[in-house]
Amino acid sequence: MASNRASNSREAILQRIRNALAKPRPPGNLLLERPAAPEVWPRNDPPAEDLAKRFQDELAAVHGQTIRCRTPEDAARQLHDLATAGGWPILAAIDAPLARQVCNCLPAETIAWVTDDWSKQQIAAVPAGVLVADLLLADTGSCVIRCPTAAARLMCYLPPACVVLARLEQLREHLPAAWGEIATACADPNARGEWVIVTGPSRTADIEKILILGVHGPKRLVVLLIG
């Protein structure tokens, strides 16, 4: 009896398939359209100053620091003060337009421009690195940094202090709001390297929940937000 019921069920399923295939096909494209991706994080498009405040608060919550700067020249003064207070005689900087604009206001002997042939030992030996963010994520206080070379990527991890330069207009509400720009950049056939999302200084905790900074990366992170 069980065998007959299984056979009848199988035949019923096959017959429904035959009937469906026998129906005339509709004209046009037979490919099914992919449904739209659900909006997990709605976009509220808050004002830039609200995004800046949220970014600053979120970064402070993970032991990072944001310094607002009016102009690149103001950022250079802030960077000089940070280097003096931190005892950083040399700043290793990634060569980018904003970094040039800021660092060219400082004494040339205090800036070392990182090239692709820098070894990890050279990068680890500098007291502080200067990076430029491509985007900022307000909801997590994160810096999104494109790293086309190995040296650029290591600059995110090896120097004990990290200073990130960014402009106010680079703030985005969250990662979905930034994803279109990231995807477009990645679609470039000439694009190389990878993207790194930096959220505060390196931190870890043991089983007793004792927080330790700087174990796996920079112990200090400062974002100079220009604008």
Is 36 contained in some domain?
no
CATH of the domain at 135: 3.40.50.10420
Cα–Cα distance between 118 and 129 in angstroms, integer?
13
Cα–Cα distance between 133 and 221 in angstroms, integer?
13
Is 13 contained in some domain?
no
Is 195 contained in some domain?
yes
What would the pLDDT profile of 147-173 be if each residue is shown by its tens digit? 999 999 999 999 999 999 999 999 999
Start-to-end Cα distance in the chain: 80
Taking residues 125-130, what's their average pLDDT?
96
Angle at 119 between CA 167 and CA 197, to 5 degrees: 35
Could you tell me the pTM of the whole model?
A: 0.79
H/E run at residue 20: helix 2-22
Is 146 contained in some domain?
yes
Q: How many domains does the chain fold into? A: 1
**Nearest of 90, 98, 84, 74 to residue 128 by alpha carbon:** 90
Is 86 contained in some domain?
yes
What would the pLDDT profile of 25-83 be if each residue is shown by its tens digit? 666 555 556 667 667 778 888 999 999 999 999 999 999 999 999 999 999 999 999 99
How big is the chain, counted in residues? 227
Is 135 contained in some domain?
yes
